[in-house]
Structure 1
Amino acid sequence: MGNHGSNLDDILAEDMHHWYNKFMKESPSGLITLFELKGMLNLKGMSQNAAGYVDQVFFTFDMDGDGYIDFVEYIAAISLMLKGEVNQKLKWYFKLFDQDGNGKIDRDELETIFLAVQDITRNRDIDPEQIVALIFERVDVNNEGELTLEEFIEGAKPHADIMEMLQKMMDLTPVLEIIVNGRDG
């Protein structure tokens, strides 16, 4: 996790009033729209996949589906990513990966998300093709070429290397730091 984890632990440890002020500074209305989130992340010049990934992240965070991320949803999402249980994180990852919403993820969906994450975070330590191949080799035991939520969770958890790669690939610390500290922060 490097020093990103300690920065976000410090951020979360700050009192809620300070945390709320940071949120309101970036979004004075108290609500973040998808357009505002993309503006915060400064997505100019990003790939179509990266923009699509941000859409997925937004709709996953927008828990009540009203088209906005409010402060409560914002805190809940950050807490999940930083302190959530393994099963909770795997469910959240799965929801992000399942781009077409059919309840299953295939190789293309997984690779598309991993490439998009790399485009946003600029972290290219792990080859997306390699992790996708490894996940499907170990987790897709019936060789259907797609995974259900249950297969994904039960298949990924016993493999420390897959869990570590997923955690590295899906580390949204740089994105959270942009949101929390502002574009210049």
Structure 2
Amino acid sequence: MGQELSGELTEQRIEELKNSTKFTAKEITEWYAKFKKDFPEGVITKDAFVSMYSQMFPNGDAKDFSLHIFRAYDADGNGVIDFSEFIQTLNISSKGSLEEKIRWAFKMYDVDGNGSVSKQEAIDMITSIYKMKGFGSAAAEQAEEAALNIFLKLDKDMDDNLSEMEFVSAAKNSSSISKLFKF
């Protein structure tokens, strides 16, 4: 990741992306053209990403949620989303298996990157979703209740942390959770 910050998409890079995604060379080239049209500098900055989400959710506060999504896209942690990171994430969301989508969601919920999701991380993530949807001042209270219910169902070893294995297993085995990832 991070190799295509502002340069053109080479045949070699197309081949690498074709081999690491389920996109054809033609699809990669088409997505690259759209990406460069929308982001001529070749990267999506944090501010631009937050602005995009804010426009998509004008009745709520999308800032916190968009920052969580941005962090998950920005695989190399350099503060921008380059085309490689964009296409890899698009690959998971549009062509990935249920498990790949769940693992990507886990990465988003694992805010500190320590390999587990704490109750507080779950509360913060759910609060950001509720704020984005315009729940207002009730968002934090509702998010805490939702997170506690999730932990009661998913935290099998009751250590107040969800490991990736607990998260993936529970999401795959829960029809209500797994249907969220089937898009």
TM range (shorter): 0.5 to 0.7
Cα distance between partner residues in 2 of 1:135 and 1:157: 14
Equivalent residue for 1:150? 165
Question: CA, structure 1 residues 101+17, in 2 after alignment: closer, same or farther (shift >3 Å)?
Answer: closer
Indicate the residue corresponding to 1:107 in structure 2.
Answer: 119
C-alpha distance in 2 between matches for 1:81 and 1:128: 24
The number of equivalent residue pairs is: 153
* Structure-to-structure mapping, 1:149-168, within 5 angstroms: 149-164=164-179, 166-167=180-181
1:61 touches 1:74 (CA, 8 Å); kept in 2?
A: yes
Selected match of 2:103 from 84, 88, 91: 91
- Point out where structure 1 has 5 or more consecutive residues left out of the alignment: 1-11, 172-185
Say if 2:64 is the partner of 1:57: no
% of aligned pairs identical? 30
Distance 1:98 1:62, change over 3 A: same
Structure with higher Rg: it is 2
1:27-42 pair list within 5 angstroms = 27-42=39-54
> Which one scores higher on RCO, CA 8 angstroms, separation ≥ 6?
1
Deviations 1:157-179 (A, max 9, x none): 21212222x438xx8xxxxxxxx
- Kindly report structure 1 stretches of 4+ aligned residues shifted beyond 6 Å: none
8 Å Cα contact 1:33/1:67 also seen in 2: yes
Tell me what 1:5 maps to: none
2-structure distance, mates of 1:72, 1:100: 23
Matches of 1:59 and 1:131, distance apart in 2? 23
Conservation of the 8 A alpha-carbon contact between 2:109 and 2:117: yes
Within 5 A, what are the aligned runs for 1:120-135? 120=132, 128=143, 131-135=146-150
Please report how far the alpha carbon of residue 51 of structure 1 lies from its aligned counterpart in structure 2 after TM superposition. 2.3
AA partner of residue 38 (structure 1): V
What amino acid maps onto 1:144 in structure 2?
D
Amino acid at match of 2:84: V
Q: Give the distance between the partners of 1:16 and 1:101, measured in 2 at CA.
A: 29
Distance 1:18 1:106 in 2: 39
Structure 1 position 138 matched with structure 2 position 150: no
DSSP 3-state at the match of 1:41: helix
CA contact (8 A) 2:59 2:134 kept: no
Residue of structure 1 in register with 2:128 after alignment = 116
Change (3 A) 1:106 1:64: closer
